[in-house]
Amino acid sequence: MRRDVTSVVAVFVFASAAFVAAQNIGGSPAGKQMKNPVASSPESIKAGQAAFQKNCRFCHNADAKGNGPMAPEGTHPSDLTDAKWDRGSTDGELFLVIRDGAGPKFDMKGYKSKMTETDIWNIVNYLRSLQAK
């Protein structure tokens, strides 16, 4: 009986740790190690803009300022044009947030089942182009 309880507690602790790590609060060590395999080019930025408008504008708005019309009530999605990103600012960290989501307070679902990795990297390149302006 004691072994069963210990096993259940261990699984719960591991699952909780994995859930917290997936949120990328304060950045992600794994994301910091990732390199963007998609070169930033006019084609990539244009593709990223199209993917952003299709998937992200509803909450982040078409201008990526974070004031989209369909943001969940009581939340304020991130302004993706500013220099401060609470969930990490490297390309890899941005990729992981888009792919895996951010939550639970922010209730952003991940897009790994809706977009290819190349689409996500294109969005990262698009967001970088907005920061440069």
What's the one-letter identity of residue 79?
A: D
Domain assignment of residue 52, given as a range: 2-132
In degrees rounded to 5, what are phi and psi of residue 23? -80, -20
3-state helix, strand, coil in the chain (%, to 5): 55, 5, 45
The total domain count for the chain is 1
pLDDT of residue 17: 38
CA distance 4 to 7: 5
Is the pLDDT score of 19 beyond 50?
no
pLDDT of residue 67: 87
Whether 127 and 94 have beta carbons less than 8 Å apart is answered as: yes
Kindly state the DSSP code that residue 72 receives in the 8-state scheme. Answer: P
Tell me the CATH number at 88.
1.10.760.10
Is the pLDDT score of 6 beyond 50?
no
pLDDT (tens digit per residue) in 36-53? 999 999 999 999 999 999
Residue 29 burial (CB count, 10 A): 10
